[in-house]
Amino acid sequence: MSTPTIGVLLAQLGTPDAPEPGAVRRFLKVFLSDPRVVDLPRWQWLPLLHGVILPTRAPRSARLYQKIWRPDGVSPLLHYTRRLTEALNARLGTAIRVDFAMRYGNPGIDATLHTMTRAGIQRLLIVPLFPQYASATTASISDAVAAAFLGERQQPTLRFAPPFFEDPGYIRALAESVRARLDTNSPRDWLFSFHGLPERFVQEGDPYAGQCRITAQRLAAELQLPMERWHVGFQSRFGREVWLTPDTARLLEELPRQGKRELAVLCPGFTADCLETLEEIAVGGEEIFLSAGGERFIYLSCLNDSPAWIDALEAIARRELSGWL
């Protein structure tokens, strides 16, 4: 059997190695030091990060991670990314090697890329597992890939898969994941919650917000939801800047006051469940909604390793590998 020379790298944002303060602090240090994530001047941001934010946020975040950590000792994000990689590897066959890496955390992009090239990979497709493009996620992956090969005498030929925010297979996979859980006639209202972003980033040219709204529109059409029954929110605010609106937490407070007391919540900007979906929305979001007078709250899981998502990802990979196979 010949050694594969074509590779696919699935790239996720990242996860701590363990739900304890030291591991979470190491993860947050790398994550929040990335200028793509926080683009304040380094002289201004780094003392604040190391002197105030990491000492306070790491223990608090560790307690939240403990709520969602799997019994087998890994995070949900790592678990589902690993399973997705295995499934895609089986689908694409022995002529293609599929690996995964984390932008922050382990396995890291640098180490994984060098493992692949040492194994003989000469052509490499990078697939950021973010449906919508954001400079803080997709572009940061590109930065890490470029940095990994900086100074290398021999580099593989690279391709980057584009964002798949309106890819028909991805939209169908989202819809199938919903239908597997419930009839779209119940509950009465729907909230599509996406990760937030400073409004300034969008004003400076980041296409993220528009792509999120297109995803929501495509999904609502696929589910045949009337316009008055679905809403878009942006979650996970951080810092004092003005972020994208409407804010998910505020929507969860306001909807019951508008008589919308049954709500299904889906997070179409995340392909795998993580802290922001399982704790912030499924736990914290439900508490906000019910405390505000809501009566029924349903959190719908991310695509994770569902068969429809594997189908969609295989189609995306084969399309982007065109001419190489």
pLDDT digit string (tens) for 94-148?
999 999 999 999 999 999 999 999 999 999 999 999 999 999 999 999 999 999 9
Domain tally, the chain = 2
The predicted-structure confidence for 170-195, as pLDDT tens digits, reads as follows 999 999 999 998 876 677 899 999 99
**Amino acid identity, residue 125?**
L
CA-wise closest residue to 64 among 224, 215, 278: 278
Global confidence as pTM: 0.96
Is the domain of 204 the same as that of 76? no
CB 247 within 8 A of CB 281: no
- pLDDT at residue 238, as a whole number: 86
310 domain-assigned = no
- Give the CATH number, domain containing residue 97: 3.40.50.1400
Token digits of residue 107 = 């396995």
- pLDDT at residue 184, as a whole number: 61
Taking the C-alpha atoms of residue 71 and residue 92, their distance in angstroms, rounded to an integer, is 30
Q: Which residues of the chain fall below pLDDT 50?
A: none
**Amino acid identity, residue 232?**
V
Query: Rounded to a whole number, what is the largest CA-CA distance in the chain?
Result: 64
Reduced to 3 states (helix: H, G, I; strand: E, B; else coil), residue 243 is: strand
Residues of the domain holding 217: 168-300
Token digits of residue 271 = 């392909």
Q: What is the DSSP letter of 223?
A: T
206 domain-assigned = yes
- pLDDT at residue 1, as a whole number: 57
CB 283 within 8 A of CB 245: no
128 domain-assigned = yes
Token digits of residue 92 = 């694409």
